[in-house]
Structure 1
């Protein structure tokens, strides 16, 4: 065993940790099961196209989305002129919600919702919203549902208009079965903070002719992790792709060996520290000896929502006005569509467009098991009905499948997660990072910060004590 760091997963958290360790001359290895870095924030090359897995945008200052000054400055310095800054270019980031034929601005704005709803419905929305201000739960806990907290924040009428229907589409559960943590603990997605921000900026935004304070890498969101990978390789390091851990051996409170399948070969790593961003369910099942039955039962009950992204290559120079459109209506089979070219013209040829059509499902269900042509047939019928694109305009298509997309915060998940993390905390040289690694619904900035902070913790330990943390391990 040595004092190096083994990073499991090359998504934003893992690559951010690797970058921080590299800058401090700490030896590390990164393994990634896919053939490309970036995790859910990767960019898929397809001929002349560079395609993201659904919409990604990053803020340049506090706004209605996830923001982190440290991570923004890191990305800005690393990418330089390859980072498109919308605000100085007077570009808007446009999102909308289509409900029963009406178009609403997203993030939802109270004024816009009232205008589109009609007088009678608007009065009901306003009444429910005002009444909700006096009924908000003051001490939410794991027994309060997402439905309860959302209706308390927005009022029943406004919540029903979009948030509840869309949430049930994403998570595959009734909002009464989802934990209030979706609204209270995931700060960058807090519904109330979004509405407050939109309401306070309403007059300013109406008068402003400048763009939105967001940015985007010119060659796709995956450029961030790809650039870190290039920096590692230029320094003589390596990120091993198509590599998957198959066994994690531990003893006396320390991990002492990780067996990894790299292509068709098994390789053993003997790290001093392990940073894991792989799904927590997978990590626990790899441990040898295996955890107690209670831990295994708890982790197996932590579910992830799976994600299917159907990419359409369209014989038009542009399809949508918006960057992305949300569809909460249950009759529409997909949840969201985005146009890649609207993020950056460098990601698509001038004369062609690409749409990403997103579906949410459970791993192994009928939708997940659809082949590419089957999913295309489902999508194109609705896209034609909506007047978005005709089948004869589609030149090509393919599907990307992500099993572990969104951690599901159902009622009672927090107690089960605490049981699992309490056990893993006893492994003193293991640190969980990232969305899937920590089973936390977080944005890219927050995931990168978590990876960077974990690396800083290791660096600090090494400064305090020159001996590796794992020197106490007794290896069988």
Structure 2
């Protein structure tokens, strides 16, 4: 069989997994990965500043999908470390242990308010919302209105910039999963914990999650593929139901425009945002598809990494900041993830995460203004002193999170129906599916796409019920099969 060229748009977890899986399955397919950024990893990359390495948000390596777990360890081997999870919620001037510890929660919230939470929970168990269309309705039915007000409403609005009553319940079902107030209390009293989002220990690359994707890119190139940085796909050329090629615009490390190349391919795997993808199709899709794509929304994000001249100001991996009095949404302590992320053991590296929109007040602040804001808020919360800040670095991440609003589900259905008509094109990953996937979910969709290309599967990545892979155990056979057992179970659940 002659070699076939596979164009992969995007060098994040999904794109690199697709390339890696193609090479693992067949020598006849040559992946060519185009990444617009200067380093691989997408939102799971690890940036650096004067020897300090830091995440674009925290990325735990935890999964119950066998194939994903195997790939992680094939690529990094002994470079994984085990990290105990410690996280808290900051709210009303107090820190609450998370996951819930019943006596800590009672002490912080107060006995009177605890009784009101229980009464509210009982009320909503007796007379729940008949429909669960929104995030607010979904959470209130499981936790009661009082707990929703305290621990869900303000933080959710800070993250998304819109009221929780405008967010679809699908996002809650995906992110909070099978946790209820009853289960949270039982977990706190018994020590049990079968809720994926509340795991107590996880794996982590010793140099950050970007280490995984930097090494994956190296392996792809060692096997004959290419991973090309500062290479943005600006046009996706189509002839009828087939994609014929892409236009790739390149820049030098100094920002010089190196021109545009047209690259042909036999197969195409996309991870760029769906809205951008449809805009770059030439000729365009039918008008109703273009209209649907224009309705998709995204939440942007920036992180201000502060370097402190003191060691370990707090022990948490991260702290969720629910208090509306400050703008910061979550705070990372990178030493608590891995000591090797810091070049100087007598300093601290603290990531102050802000959820925003490109072009708003936060996004447009200067680096000096953002470092000043982050230092002030760190001190206001009580996790460090502003005068201990000796340096800082800012990373802005557009389209970090696909928004689940009233338009998202019908719009994605319209787009996916049309994309299914393309013979040699698949879209995967968080933004490629407009689905708030975790890293392992994005990788699984990419694996399925790669297997589709080499003929080992014939699955529609849109129909895979990714949610079940996170919190259900699968009994898998060691025998190689065209469709992996975990994926069979996922499809049965769809």
- Normalising by the residue count of structure 2, what TM-score does the alignment of the two structures yield? 0.85
Q: CA deviation at 1:318?
A: 1.6
Measure, in 1, the Cα distance between the counterparts of 2:36 and 2:128: 44
Local SS of the residue matching 1:193: coil
Local SS of the residue matching 1:229: helix
Alignment partner, residue 399 of structure 1: 394
Alignment partner, residue 28 of structure 1: 31
Superposed CA deviations along residues 244-263 of structure 1, whole A, max 9, x for unmatched, are 01111111211012111122
Q: Are 1:4 and 2:5 matched, yes or no? A: yes
Alignment partner, residue 312 of structure 1: 306
Local SS of the residue matching 1:236: coil
Alignment partner, residue 328 of structure 2: 334
Structure 1 gaps, min length 5: 60-65, 87-91, 464-476
**Higher relative CO (CA 8 A, sep ≥ 6), structure 1 or 2?**
1
Measure, in 1, the Cα distance between the counterparts of 2:229 and 2:113: 54
Alignment partner, residue 62 of structure 1: none
Measure, in 2, the Cα distance between the counterparts of 1:84 and 1:323: 14
Note if contact 2:102-2:188 (Cα within 8 Å) is conserved in structure 1. Answer: no
Local SS of the residue matching 1:317: coil
Alignment partner, residue 17 of structure 1: 18
- Normalising by the residue count of structure 1, what TM-score does the alignment of the two structures yield? 0.88
- Structure 1 vs Structure 2 CA RMSD: 2.3
Local SS of the residue matching 1:58: coil
More moved, 452-461 vs 215-224? 452-461
Q: CA deviation at 1:161?
A: 1.1
2:179 to 172, 188, 193: 193
More moved, 277-286 vs 122-131? 122-131
Superposed CA deviations along residues 314-339 of structure 1, whole A, max 9, x for unmatched, are 11122221111111122111101111
Alignment partner, residue 127 of structure 1: 119
Alignment partner, residue 109 of structure 2: 117
Measure, in 2, the Cα distance between the counterparts of 1:420 and 1:110: 46
Q: CA deviation at 1:96?
A: 0.4
Measure, in 1, the Cα distance between the counterparts of 2:204 and 2:274: 29
Alignment partner, residue 267 of structure 2: 273
Alignment of structure 1 residues 334-373 onto 2, 5 Å: 334-348=328-342, 349-373=344-368
Note if contact 1:153-1:192 (Cα within 8 Å) is conserved in structure 2. Answer: no
Local SS of the residue matching 1:105: strand
Superposed CA deviations along residues 402-461 of structure 1, whole A, max 9, x for unmatched, are 111011111232112212222222222111101011100011111111111111111116
Alignment partner, residue 470 of structure 2: none
Q: CA deviation at 1:391?
A: 2.9
The 3 A distance-change label for structure 1 pair 390 and 202 is closer
1:80 to 77, 82, 89: 77
Superposed CA deviations along residues 347-402 of structure 1, whole A, max 9, x for unmatched, are 11212211000001112112111121121222222222233222331121121001
Q: CA deviation at 1:106?
A: 2.1
Local SS of the residue matching 2:191: helix
Note if contact 1:274-1:430 (Cα within 8 Å) is conserved in structure 2. Answer: yes
How many corresponding residue pairs? 443
Structure 2 gaps, min length 5: 194-198, 252-257, 459-494
Note if contact 1:318-1:353 (Cα within 8 Å) is conserved in structure 2. Answer: yes
The 3 A distance-change label for structure 1 pair 123 and 47 is same
